[in-house]
Amino acid sequence: MPALNVEFSERELEDLRAIAKERGTTMKAIVQEATAADIARHRALREGAEVFRRFFADNAKAFAEAFPDDEPGPSAPGRAA
């Protein structure tokens, strides 16, 4: 299995050791769990943003009709005049 060396400050290592001891687990397990949770959170946010973009694109006309005052004008950045 691939491995990764990670550097921590003395304070971080001290805290990590204390947390591992409190939980009755290893420092390695804590780092792996935290990393896996962050990866899952990142994927979920990315997927959620994509779902929102598709929803908004698919419903752009309805949004424009429902909120006409929020529509950018012809001089808005990125819009052709």
pLDDT tens digits, 48-76 = 999 999 999 999 999 999 999 988 877 65
Whole-angstrom distance, CA of residue 53 vs CA of residue 40:
20
What domain range includes position 22? 10-69
pLDDT given at position 59: 95
Q: Is residue 21 part of a domain?
A: yes
Look at the block and give the residue holding tokens 């909120």.
67
Q: Is residue 16 part of a domain?
A: yes
pLDDT given at position 20: 98
**One-letter amino acid identity for 77?**
P
Between residues 37 and 79, which one has the greater pLDDT? 37
Task: Name the domain count of the chain.
Answer: 1
